[in-house]
Amino acid sequence: MNHAPPHPYPSDIAFTPTVKAIQARNGSRDAYARMETDRGWETRITPDVASFIEQQTSVFFATANDEGQPYIQHRGGPAGFLHVVDDHTIAFADFAGNRQYITLGNLADNPKAYLFLIDYARRRRIKLWGEARVVEDDPELLAKLMPQGYKARGERVIAMTVNAWDMNCPQHIPQRFEAADVAAALAERDQRIEALEAEIARLRAASQA
């Protein structure tokens, strides 16, 4: 796929002329125009963003059919199930599911795709726009992308070329934590309490000797 942005600014992938007109009407266009010329949205996956992507266990993948009807599908797996192939490409194994094949049908008609990633604990979110393709009959690639030890059956690969991405502010993101992270923090706390209690007992015994 062509990595070159099809618009003067990467953000034009979302900021259509109609969107810009509404921004102007509501007083935000000047600020976004400065953003576009000063730094703008990124088109390459930076190392920091690559790390963020590969830490995700739950993401949302959006496509649209040839009539423009959008569809959002949840995709989940262990950390690392999303693979950053290079600074423009994300790929993942397509696990067997409910056999509706809406995403596959949409991509057959319209390659436009969107990934929404959110980290509730750190209150970060990243939006990625691009084009995706379905890779069938490549068992070697599928095996490479399948998470080790994960109980799922991979059927094919979906590869997304990233054309633009943006990381927005944490406003209105509720802070939530994974159960495994909470359990680990509580276990660490309990170990610390146990160590402190043992130290107190030792000091008490020493003072009474």
In terms of pLDDT, which residue wins out, 207 or 128?
128
- Which of 100, 86, 102, 105 is closest to 159 using CA atoms? 86
Convert the pLDDT of each residue in 40-98 to its tens digit: 899 999 999 999 999 999 999 999 999 999 999 999 999 999 999 999 999 999 999 89
Residue 3: pLDDT band with limits 50, 70, 90? low
Residue 127: pLDDT band with limits 50, 70, 90? very high
Q: How far is C-alpha 8 from the chain's CA centre?
A: 25
Residue 157 · residue 91 · CB < 8 Å: yes
- What secondary structure does DSSP assign to 148-202, as a single string? TT-S--EEEEEEEEEEEEEEE--TT------HHHHHHHHHHHHHHHHHHHHHHHH
Q: How far apart are CA 205 and CA 182, in angstroms?
A: 35
In terms of pLDDT, which residue wins out, 182 or 39?
182
Residue 2: pLDDT band with limits 50, 70, 90? low
Residue 116 · residue 60 · CB < 8 Å: yes
Report whether pLDDT(24) > 60: yes
Report whether pLDDT(110) > 80: yes
Of the listed ranges 15-19, 24-28, 99-103, 201-205, the one predicted with least confidence:
201-205
Convert the pLDDT of each residue in 144-201 to its tens digit: 999 999 999 999 999 999 999 998 777 787 788 888 888 988 999 999 999 999 999 9
Residue 117: pLDDT band with limits 50, 70, 90? very high
